[in-house]
Amino acid sequence: MYDHLTLISGRAHPLLAQDIANYLGVPLAHVDVVDFPDGETSVRLNQNIRGRDVYLIQPTGPPANQNLMELLILIDTCMRASASRITAVLPYFGYARQDRKDAGRVPITSKLVANLITGAGANRVLTIDLHAAQIQGFFDLPVDHLFAAPILDLYFKSLEIPQEEMVIVSPDEGSIKRALQHQEHLGGSLVIVDKRRSSATEVRQANLIGGPIAGKTALIFDDMISTGGSIVGAVNVARQHGAKKVYVGAAHGLFCGPAVERLSHAEIDEIVVTDSLPQTAARKLANLKVVSVAPLLGEAIRRIHRNESVSRLFD
């Protein structure tokens, strides 16, 4: 059914890779990835991939440097083993937030990472919810940029929240477009948290634009949850304005630093993220719900392999 297709998993997220393999009905390739005593990564591919269409599944989330280097070595391994086409499947693209010069003498690291992936020998990139869509232009190769919003929306629809009680909350002005897209699919009204920075490292949310929200169910959407500061701030504002229930949805759950502690103490009914990253750090969160992107990525891989349109999956 899938002639000449090979799936390879790095060590970043083998569970998701296996779920994608199960969706496609294709076994994962046998590859040994180990670390030498000095920390260097060694890869050995234990099967022939000459002339094959290879998909390397490796999110470059924490630890970002290790996972990125491992991805580059895997790409080089496949290139030197004469793969016909190499697609880097990045459920989460690390360094995406360093996408511009916002101060003097700083790098644009997401462009550097794009160059590294291209230079290593990748022919195509498949990813989900880039922090900024224009990062696609950093790559000198085709990029299929998918979105987790339909998967999140499908779950929230299953909760059967009445339209008149639903409020879609944008945690800051930069997330308004995302909130509008969720509102289009879910309905309800829209409010925006007025996010103000009190220092270089501190963000405070004070005001709510739109409403009313009192006595209603608030759905707060963001592209990722990192340290949890912005999300918890938005949750607090929603509660202060009388929200009856608060749900949080995000494509990527990084849960770095104080995130788990912050979210544990916040008045959140449920936190919904995808499995674009392994959720080891967030296991302590009793209100965490993980929805799978394996069918989305598996279907994209199927269509790319068959040279079919992937456009429908962008919606």
Active site residues: 195
Distance (Å, rounded) from C-alpha 201 to C-alpha 223? Answer: 20
Nearest to 128 by CA among 308, 299, 306, 307: 299
The answer, yes or no, to whether the previous bond of 63 is cis (omega within 30 of 0) is yes
Q: Which of 290, 286, 287 is nearest to 274 (CA)?
A: 290
**Angstrom distances, CA of residue 129 to CA of 9, 234, 276:** 20, 21, 10
Cβ-in-10-Å burial (0-12, 13-18, 19+) of 82 comes to exposed
Q: Do β-strands 5-9 and 53-57 pair in parallel, antiparallel, or remain unpaired?
A: parallel
What does the buried/exposed string (b/e) look like for 243-280 if buried means 16 or more CB atoms within 10 Å of the residue's CB? bebbbbbbbbbbbeeebbebbeebebebbbbbbbbbbe
Alpha helices in 121-225, H assignment, sequence order: 149-158, 176-186
Measured CA to CA, the distance from residue 18 to residue 8 in angstroms comes to 10
Determine the residue type at 266. Answer: A
Q: Are 99 and 108 in contact (CB under 8 A)?
A: yes
Q: Is 82 left (phi over 0), alpha (psi -120 to 50) or beta?
A: left
Residue type (1 letter), 40: E
